[in-house]
Amino acid sequence: MPAPSSNRVTSSRKRSPWYSTAFIVESVLLLVFLAASLAVLTLTFSSALNRSVASRTSDAAVIAASSIAEHFAANPSDVQDETVLGDLRIVCTVTDEARAGGTMHRAHIDVFDMNAAADAAPTYSLDTSRYESEVS
């Protein structure tokens, strides 16, 4: 009777390396899958962060240009050529055109992100005008 039990021990010892090899292979595959999933999630969150920063900059540029345009509409002669608000540089070019009954004031407003390259295109541009009649 002792012989059959020794066969069982021998046969289980023969199967052991196979099971441990399968476990290691499955563990490595799981590790590769988790690493790939982590890489995809990291890229997704990084892209979302970059878009969020660009969106905040665009929103701030639109608000700054609108503010300068409102100031221009109130008093065209009181607008500064260049203004800095936080990380934004606002350049306002005002031209006056004399007409028969008054003056047409035009403003071109460019907003630049100071964190961008020096030769970068404006983040936002706005054109506005105001007519002042000479008739009281």
Nearest CA-CA partner of 64 in 87, 90, 93: 90
**Adjacent-strand bridge partners of 94:** 107
Banded model confidence at residue 28, pLDDT cuts 50, 70, 90: very high
Nearby residues of 132 by Cβ (< 8 Å), 6 or more positions away: 76, 102, 103, 105
Give the residue with greater pLDDT, 10 vs 58: 58
pLDDT of 101 higher than 70: yes
Please count the other Cβ atoms lying within 10 Å of the Cβ belonging to residue 88: 20
Average pLDDT over residues 20-28: 91
Cα dihedral 35→37→41→42 (10° resolution)? 20
**pLDDT reading at 135 higher than 90:** no
Q: Which residues partner with 112 through β-bridges?
A: 89
How crowded is residue 123: how many other Cβ atoms within 10 Å of its Cβ? Answer: 20
Q: Quick check: 88 and 114 in contact, CB under 8 A?
A: yes
Structure tokens at 45: 């969150």
Please report which helix (H) or strand (E) contains residue 83, including its range.
Answer: strand 82-85
Please determine, for residue 136, whether its predicted confidence score (pLDDT) is greater than 60. yes
Task: Tell whether pTM > 0.75.
Answer: no
In the predicted structure, residue 76 carries a pLDDT above the cut 80: yes
